[in-house]
Amino acid sequence: MKIIDLSLAIDDTAFEVHDMHITRVSHKDGIEKLNKVLLCKSLSGKIKYLLGKRIIKKNDLPDEEFLSLEVVHSPVHIGTHLDYSYHYGSKSEGRASKTSDQIPLEWCISDGVRLNFYHKKSGETITKKDVQDELKRINYRLKPLDIVLLFTGRDKLFGSKDYFSDYPAVDISAIDYLLDNGIKIFGVDTMGIDRPYQFMIKEFMKNNDPSVLWPAHFYGRKREFIHIERLGGLHKLPDHGFKVHCLPVKIRKTGAAWARVIATL
């Protein structure tokens, strides 16, 4: 069995529009942090700590090192992740929206199909006809619970500002077509399923038409679906004949959850 990683990292060196950072405590610094935790639970302990008392010294530990510790301060929409209906709105299909910890796991391991839209330009949309034409080209018929991956190649821009402004969107007609064929999860190798901000905002300001604002996301209020954002490495996949595993991290009551997405051949 061959495993192909389809995930992008939560990377504190990459450009992001949302604030994120990773606090790293080294093995050496961990000794000091350990003593601080042990001593500073009371006022008297804090005073002793400030006066130089240490319960565990570096020479008490092998190699004079404690354990490393990293604390990730990040939105759930950074890194490869699954969006569920709560992200789109408070209600979906007339019912209270579901959160990421309610994603049915049986949907998350299934046969995959890759549709190639590498030719699509920034601001364009992937339509129902585009999906149908690509399925015809690769001679594949969708079946319920297939996980459909839309390949644009924009993961190569990850880490730069262009990643947030240069990619095609997914049209509602394409989402409808996928859902009508029993698809529960589809994924993109872009930062979102709607057009980049500059296209939506410019058109809204020109025509005062709110329907151009995040139509694909807001469509999740009408029909329930899950989509994966920020995939990577789709160029390594065949058109079909592989399985996708996209199990979400179990985080209580969030609209999205990080996932380590892989394909197995």
User: What is each CA distance from 65 to 22, 27, 39, 56, 70, in whole angstroms?
Assistant: 21, 5, 19, 11, 15
The pair of three-digit structure tokens given for residue 162, joined into one six-digit string = 């262009």
Q: Where in the chain is the domain with CATH 3.50.30.50?
A: 3-10+76-264
- Cβ neighbours, 10 Å, residue 24: 12
How many Å apart are CA 228 and CA 186, to the nearest integer? 6
One digit per residue, the tens of pLDDT, for the chain of length 265 reads 999 999 999 999 999 999 999 999 999 999 999 999 999 999 999 999 999 999 999 999 999 999 999 999 999 999 999 999 999 999 999 999 999 999 999 999 999 999 999 999 999 999 999 999 999 999 999 999 999 999 999 999 999 999 999 999 999 999 999 999 999 999 999 999 999 999 999 999 999 999 999 999 999 999 999 999 999 999 999 999 999 999 999 999 999 999 999 999 9
What is the fold, at CATH topology level, of the domain defined by 3-10+76-264? Answer: Glucose Oxidase; domain 1 (3.50.30)
Return the closest-CA partner of residue 256 out of 24, 39, 74, 45.
74
104: helix, coil or strand? coil
First to last CA, the chain: 6
Report residue 128 CA to chain centroid gap: 24
Whether the Cβ atoms of residue 33 and residue 25 lie closer than 8 Å to each other: yes
For the entire predicted model, the pTM comes to 0.93
84: helix, coil or strand? coil
